[in-house]
Structure formats: C-alpha cells, structure tokens
C-alpha cells in the first residue's frame, strides 16, 4: 500500500501523524496484492443445526440459516453467518448483529463497518481478505447484550468456522466479544495488550475496541491503532 493511501486510512482513524511499526515480511499473514479472495459458497439445502463439527462451508451456512437453537430465531429477520475469504489468516469477531446487519445479513455494515474497513486497511488488509463473524448469528432484540445461553448455543457455529478457517490470528472487537470468547468478566481495558488463546487449537487472540464504541469515543482510536499494530506483530510471529 502506498503512503498516500495509508494516510487516508489513518486519517479515518484520526491518527494522521502515526506510522506503522516495521516488522519482517509475512506473506502468510497478508495475501498477495490483487489476489482474488475465495468467496463463500451458496447453500443449497438446510442442514439440521445439531452436530456441526463435521460440516463444510456450504452445510454450515445452511445449518446457521435454519437454526432454532434459541428464541432469537423467532425475532430475527435473517441470520448473519459471516463474510470474507474462506482462506483468511485473520478472523475478526464482533459481538452480535445490529438492526442493519439483521436486514442485510452481513456483519459490520454502516458507519461501524466503514470504520472497521479503515482500521484493516491501515495495516494493509482489505475487508475481502479477512473473515468477519460475530459471537451470535442472530440479532438480540433492541440490540441488547447477548444472554449467556444464546452465546453458548451459537458457539458451536463459530467453533466450526474457526476449524475450517484455521486462522493465524483472531481479533476480538468489543467487550462482549472478548468476554464471551475468553469466558471471563475481566474488563476490556485489562484484556488489551496481551496475547490470549482460543479453543483447543490455541489460536492467538488479541482484543481491541468495537468500531461503534470508537465512533462514540474517538479519543480511544489511538489505543485501537496500538492494538492493530500489536495484532500484526503477533501474526508476524514477533513478540514484544
């Protein structure tokens, strides 16, 4: 990415004067420029939501679309499976779909999605080169926090997405995402700045602020930029 483009993306974060830390080249973390990102297959027929551990992408997406594991299935417009490259090395995990995501069936749209796109571009990634998902696949009414039972019922879907992706790094955006993934009630501030690990495969996980929060608290964008640089270092195998 040339310096002019990076400056535009950093400007969206309010960080015009900041520069990206330089680490070793890591082609396994950043896809080749201009390389097409494999897209998700379109499901053909629903699959029962039970027993997702052996499902492929097509069957898993259909299982999510047909899911009735919790009461959110009665209030959603549609499920929000996730979007991006099925060969991504970066997995971005938010908390739950909002109203617009529920309407469009895609995570991180609207202003928060635009800011997330700018955050990714600041470290040399396009939205199409990562995979973006949520802890919950259905919108909680009124955008309330996910209930523990809802998150527990949805977790097998995310687990299977992770198993299929085999990401090099996970970026948990927002308190709800981080606390659910890490099974903790520790504050987001205390979870930042360190490498956590998720699941049996011990995928490295870094925590940062949710873009919607950054829109409300722009002074925290500098901290988010630090988190992004840290995540890039972790993905590169560089330890502080």
C-alpha–C-alpha distance, residues 157 and 138, integer Å: 12
C-alpha–C-alpha distance, residues 52 and 59, integer Å: 9
Domain assignment of residue 10, yes or no: no
pLDDT digits over 12-49, tens only? 666 555 554 544 444 456 555 555 555 544 443 333 34
- Largest Cα–Cα separation, the chain: 51
Domain assignment of residue 222, yes or no: yes
The residue segments making up the domain with residue 125 are 45-236
Looking up residue 192, the CATH number of its domain turns out to be: 3.40.470.10
pLDDT digits over 52-63, tens only? 999 999 999 999
Q: What is the mean pLDDT of residues 225-238?
A: 91
Give 206's strand partners: 171
pLDDT digits over 120-168, tens only? 999 999 999 999 999 999 999 998 999 999 999 999 999 999 999 999 9
Domain assignment of residue 22, yes or no: no
| pLDDT at position 102 over 90 | yes
Provide the pLDDT for residue 46. Answer: 37
Cα–Cα distance list, 171 to 17, 95, 167, 210, 240 (Å):
24, 12, 10, 10, 18
Q: Indicate the pTM of the whole model.
A: 0.82
Domain assignment of residue 13, yes or no: no
Domain assignment of residue 197, yes or no: yes
Give how many domains the chain has, as a whole number: 1
Domain assignment of residue 40, yes or no: no
Domain assignment of residue 8, yes or no: no
């Amino acid at each position: 990415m040339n310096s002019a483009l990076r400056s535009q993306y950093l400007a969206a974060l309010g960080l015009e004067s900041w520069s990206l830390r330089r680490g070793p080249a890591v082609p396994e973390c950043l896809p080749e420029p201009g390389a097409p990102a494999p897209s998700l297959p379109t499901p053909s027929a629903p699959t029962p939501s039970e027993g997702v551990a052996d499902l492929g992408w097509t069957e898993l997406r259909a299982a999510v679309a047909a899911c009735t594991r919790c009461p959110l299935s009665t209030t959603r417009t549609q499920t929000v499976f996730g979007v991006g490259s099925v060969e991504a090395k970066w997995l971005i995990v938010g908390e739950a779909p909002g109203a617009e995501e529920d309407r469009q069936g895609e995570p991180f749209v609207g202003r928060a999605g635009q800011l997330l796109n700018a955050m990714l571009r600041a470290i040399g990634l396009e939205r199409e080169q990562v995979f973006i998902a949520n802890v919950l696949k259905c919108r909680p009414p009124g955008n309330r926090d996910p209930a523990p039972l809802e998150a527990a019922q949805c977790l097998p879907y995310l687990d299977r997405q992770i198993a299929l992706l085999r990401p090099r790094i996970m970026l948990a955006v927002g308190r709800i995402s981080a606390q659910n993934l890490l099974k903790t009630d520790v504050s987001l501030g205390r979870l930042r700045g360190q490498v956590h690990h998720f699941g049996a495969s011990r995928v490295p996980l870094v925590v940062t602020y949710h873009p919607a929060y950054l829109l409300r608290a722009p002074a925290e964008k500098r901290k988010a930029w630090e988190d992004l640089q840290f995540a890039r270092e972790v993905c590169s195998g560089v330890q502080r």
